[in-house]
Amino acid sequence: MKVYADTSVYGGAFDPEFQRASRAFFEQVEAGRFRLVASAIVLREVRGAPEEIRRLAGAMLAEGELVDVTAEAVTLQDAYIEAGIVGPASEADALQVACATVTGCQMIVSWNFRHIVHYQKIALYNAINIVQGYSEIRIHSPLEVIEHED
């Protein structure tokens, strides 16, 4: 399964609240359960992050797929903003959803509960995706997608 992980998941691997699920997600990427995808947006955002986050992103993306920010993704991002899903101040979040959508990811994982992983926004992103001729995309937190030991 092709899964786009936004920047919050990399940072989450070093945050006590999100660490366990973020690290489990990346372990499952390494085990082949997920095919990791990220965009230049993630690379730009992790440049200013602490060293351990940059190192994790570099290691994970060396085996993953890095997708370009295309004109097609920007057009979809504009449709999300025009529909009021997020405002212009959150355009990077909308662009990450757009990049994942136009590159055929089946899922996005994120800890961004305000602009991405929110039940109302997920429905709106997917409504715009359908109107624009794209498939729906599943949006979850890492906690919701990792396999748990029983």
99-148 confidence digits (pLDDT tens): 999 999 999 999 999 999 999 999 999 999 999 999 999 999 999 999 87
What is the pLDDT confidence band of residue 3, given thresholds at 50, 70 and 90?
very high
Average of pLDDT values for 24-38? 96
Fill in the amino acid letter for 109.
V
Distance separating the N- and C-terminal Cα atoms of the chain: 23
Q: Which fold has domain 2-145?
A: Rossmann fold (3.40.50)
Map out the domains of the chain as residue ranges: 2-145
C-beta separation of 11 from 53 below 8 A: yes
